[in-house]
């Protein structure tokens, strides 16, 4: 740990036992003093940013402390190793400090000899509750961790001590009183701790997660540049160490379609835990939270609940828990409520649950993410069940499924079941399939007397641009297939000739429209001969890449086989499938490019065989007599 000597203003490093020190909590400006600049004495003379460092040392020295720690100059940020170690140790360093100075540079108050209340602001500053210090991500743990904390205004006048300001601080931050008084964080649920950061911000997106490491007692490596994935990793680390399932009791905050879309089990940000926040709010904050009432949830230990831990793997979150099947008469375990180990209002008769829908065999996504279900176990059919929950929305939007298509028959059964369901209406299901692609049985295996092609594979791009390849078995019984779409959706269909290895690649796409309508559907295609595929091993992937990068959007296209001189025509036409508007892919062919030439090529083997057959028959049926000449005897 690197500390500033408050007398010499020099940096000293300590390994092992660290002397008593003061620590500064503040908000960063556009320009802050780095370690290298602090060590440069010529820089100190003309720097305005260094003033708060000197003020910290001066205040610490007046209280008999020889050392102080300031994050801007006590960490070498040019070393990623040191920066990572410091951030993972930050909560401990603030907790172990002899005193923490919270410097509120946008607040000005009258100086009090014995501060017992918040002073009215003077003309030079704003009220305490409106200080930027209470909106920053890093200052959350800096408020909770220290035992002794003093608040100072822009002129370094004492505002008050934390122990005397607990009531005001609780109203501003929503942090429980006993936590502000030094009580154990473990007594507070995961979701409630997350809610404390719901309205806080950081300069870098990754710091939303890194600033919460100490709040949850976890450590993880810093990977700046990973964006929001850092918050996903934080939740995974919390899940490894805690069985508190309020981690999954968040509510989606987005409005409109985002509330209806399928999601992963992890939240996007701490903002989605705002339903757990309880504080004195101003009118703006009340409007921001108007969509949610506060969820007063309590953790619940039930001896009948499965004890297996929830774990994370490449298939998702492994869950062994209790479920309520919402559609047992349609398809068992297709749509369920997963019960969490928490209850509403301390009532064990009202268990909290989240809605899940199957995406493939045993993997589920969260649906209705803006809602929490209330389940009464004594009045419901509850059963144990094991499943994998998808972690985040990319896995859902990315069609991370075993089979990304369905059929009109399956849709019909689903709509019939939903017509009698109280949990989900059929209109919501129809919206999931709107603007999809429909392919009839004939379109799956187009054929003429000149040849036949069969659909053998489906390649889909997910929301991150990754291609996923799915096998399709054309000889299985398929009445039709339906491909669900999303904005800027693209899918490649692989058709293979039955008599050769020739391929036709068909690209279907949906382009977003500015008016937020269903979007324009389009099709394009290319032909790959067996010779092309044999000459270059990457020819197939090159063709797929070329297709997916196309900017030519058309409703109809033809694809020609250069070897056989055959043409397959593809077109998209509007269609209504089970009352849902879709685009139907029609495939006609293969037909000859030059009809007479192809017709002669088609019948020539039969004609040759016919001629040979006629000659053979003629040879066998026409008698050939040979009468030898007998010489006469005279």
Q: Domain coordinates of the chain in residue numbers?
A: 2-183, 246-396, 429-592
Q: Report the C-alpha dihedral over residues 422, 424, 428, 432, rounded to 10 degrees.
A: -150
Decide: 567 and 591 in contact? Cβ < 8 Å: yes
In angstroms, how far apart are the furthest CA atoms of the chain? 170
Instruction: Kindly give, in sequence order, each residue whose CB lies less than 8 Å from that of residue 126, ignoring residues fewer than 6 positions away.
Output: 106, 107
Length of the chain: 634
Nearest-5° Cα angle at 390, 384 to 396: 130
Gyration radius from the chain CA atoms: 36
Which two structure tokens, joined as six digits, stand for 232? 């996903």
Residue stretches of the chain with pLDDT short of 70: 44-48, 110-126, 254-260, 280-294, 396-402, 421-424, 461-467, 513-519, 562-564, 594-604, 622-634
pLDDT the model gives residue 283: 44
Q: Between β-strands 490-497 and 503-511, what pairing exists: parallel, antiparallel or unpaired?
A: antiparallel
Q: Decide the pairing of beta strands 99-103 and 149-152.
A: parallel
Residues 6+ apart with CB under 8 A from 593: 560, 565, 566, 567
Q: Quote the pLDDT of residue 299.
A: 85
- Half-sphere exposure (Cβ direction) of 601: Cα atoms closer than 13 Å: 15
Measured over the CA atoms of residue 43, residue 48, residue 53 and residue 54, the dihedral's sign is positive
- Would you list the DSSP string of 511-570? EPPTT-SS-EEEEEEEEE-HHHHHH-TTHHHHHHHHHHT-----SEEEEEETTTTEEEEE
Six token digits for residue 595: 């009809």
Contact 24, 69 (CB under 8 A): yes
What is the pLDDT, as a whole number, of residue 596?
54
Q: What is the pLDDT of residue 558?
A: 87
For helices 426-433 and 408-418, the axis angle rounded to 10 degrees is 160
Closest CA to 486 of 467, 459, 461: 461
Contacts of 345 (CB under 8 A, 6+ apart): 296, 298
Question: What is the pLDDT at residue 69?
Answer: 96
Handedness of CA 259, 262, 264, 265 (dihedral sign): positive
∠ at Cα 340 (217, 344), nearest 5°? Answer: 100
pLDDT of residue 111: 41
Distance CA 4, CA 479 (A): 76
> What is the separation of C-alpha 327 from the centre of its chain, rounded to a whole number of angstroms?
27
C-alpha distances (whole Å) from 251 to each of 359, 372, 421, 505 are 21, 7, 23, 42
Cis peptide before 27 (omega within 30 of 0): no
| Per-residue confidence (pLDDT) for residue 152, from 0 to 100 | 95
Any idea what DSSP says for residue 402?
S
- The Cα–Cα gap between 158 and 115 comes to 7
**What separation in angstroms does the CA of 465 have from each of 230, 252, 437, 469, 545?**
20, 25, 20, 13, 11
Q: Is 45 exposed, middle or buried (0-12, 13-18, 19+ CB in 10 A)?
A: exposed
Inter-residue contact 110 to 72 (CB < 8 Å) = no
Whole-angstrom CA distances from 227 to 205, 210, 366, 390, 461 are 6, 11, 23, 19, 21
Return the DSSP state at 57: H
Dihedrals φ, ψ of 551, to 5°?
-115, 5
DSSP-derived pairing of the beta strands 316-325 and 383-389? antiparallel
Task: Identify the DSSP state of 631.
Answer: P
Where does 429-592 sit in CATH, by number?
2.60.270
Q: Which residue has 């692989």 as its token pair?
A: 494
User: How far is it, in rounded angstroms, from Cα 193 to Cα 215?
Assistant: 7
> What pLDDT sits at residue 598?
54
**Paired strand residues for 480:** 440
Q: Cβ distance 339 to 323 under 8 Å?
A: yes
3-class secondary structure per residue, 326-342: CCCCCCCCCEEEEEEEE
């Amino acid at each position: 740990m690197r500390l500033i000597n408050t007398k010499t203003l020099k940096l000293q490093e300590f390994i092992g036992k660290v002397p008593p020190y003061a620590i500064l909590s503040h908000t960063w400006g556009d320009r802050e003093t780095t370690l290298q600049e602090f060590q440069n004495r010529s820089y100190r003379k003309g720097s305005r940013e260094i003033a708060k460092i000197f003020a910290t040392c001066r205040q610490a020295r007046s209280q008999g402390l020889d050392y102080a720690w300031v994050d801007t100059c006590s960490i070498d940020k040019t070393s990623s190793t040191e920066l990572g170690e410091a951030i993972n140790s930050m909560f401990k360093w603030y907790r172990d400090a002899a005193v923490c100075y919270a410097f509120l540079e946008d607040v000005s108050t009258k100086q009090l000899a014995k501060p017992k209340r918040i002073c009215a602001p003077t003309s030079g500053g704003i009220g305490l509750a409106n200080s930027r210090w209470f909106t920053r991500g890093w200052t959350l743990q800096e408020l909770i961790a220290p035992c002794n904390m003093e608040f100072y205004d822009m002129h370094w006048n004492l505002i008050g001590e934390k122990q005397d300001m607990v009531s005001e601080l609780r109203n501003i931050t929503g942090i429980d009183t006993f936590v502000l008084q030094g009580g154990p964080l473990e007594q507070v649920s995961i979701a409630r701790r997350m809610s404390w950061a719901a309205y806080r911000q950081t300069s870098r997106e990754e710091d939303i997660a890194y600033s919460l490491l100490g709040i949850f007692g976890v450590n993880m490596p810093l990977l700046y540049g990973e964006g929001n994935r850092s918050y996903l990793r934080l939740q995974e680390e919390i899940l490894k160490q805690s069985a508190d399932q309020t981690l999954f009791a968040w509510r989606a905050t987005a409005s409109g379609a985002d509330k209806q879309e399928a999601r992963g089990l992890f939240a996007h940000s701490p903002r989605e835990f705002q339903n757990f926040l309880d504080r004195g709010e101003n009118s703006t904050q009340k409007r921001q939270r108007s969509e949610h009432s506060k969820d007063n949830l309590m953790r619940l230990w039930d001896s009948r609940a499965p004890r297996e831990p929830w774990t994370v793997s490449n298939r998702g979150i492994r869950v062994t828990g209790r479920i309520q099947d919402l559609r047992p008469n349609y398809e068992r375990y297709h749509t369920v409520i997963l019960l969490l180990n928490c209850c509403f209002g301390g009532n064990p008769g009202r268990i909290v649950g989240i809605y899940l829908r199957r995406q493939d065999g045993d993997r589920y996504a969260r649906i209705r993410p803006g809602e929490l279900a209330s389940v009464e176990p004594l009045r419901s059919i509850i059963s144990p069940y094991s499943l994998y929950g998808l972690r985040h929305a990319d896995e859902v939007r990315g069609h991370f499924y075993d089979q990304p298509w369905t059929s009109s028959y399956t849709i019909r059964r689903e709509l019939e079941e939903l017509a009698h369901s109280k949990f989900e209406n059929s209109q919501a299901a129809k919206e999931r399939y709107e603007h999809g692609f429909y392919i009839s049985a004939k379109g799956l295996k187009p054929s003429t007397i000149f040849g036949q092609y069969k659909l053998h594979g489906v390649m889909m791009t997910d929301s991150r641009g990754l291609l996923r390849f799915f096998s399709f078995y054309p000889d299985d019984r398929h009445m039709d297939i339906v491909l669900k779409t999303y904005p800027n959706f693209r899918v490649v269909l692989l058709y293979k000739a039955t008599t050769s290895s020739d391929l036709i690649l068909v690209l279907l796409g949906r382009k977003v429209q500015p008016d937020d309508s269903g979007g324009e559907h389009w099709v394009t295609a290319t032909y790959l001969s067996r010779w092309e595929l044999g000459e270059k091993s990457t020819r197939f992937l090159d063709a797929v890449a070329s297709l997916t990068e196309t900017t030519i959007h058309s409703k109809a296209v033809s694809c020609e086989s250069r070897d056989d001189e055959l043409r397959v025509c593809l077109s998209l036409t509007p269609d209504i499938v089970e009352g849902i508007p879709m685009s139907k892919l029609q495939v006609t062919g293969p037909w000859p490019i030059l009809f007479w030439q192809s017709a002669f090529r088609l019948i020539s083997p039969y004609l040759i065989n016919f001629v040979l057959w006629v000659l053979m028959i003629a040879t066998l049926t026409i008698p050939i007599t040979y009468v030898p000449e007998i010489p006469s005897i005279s």
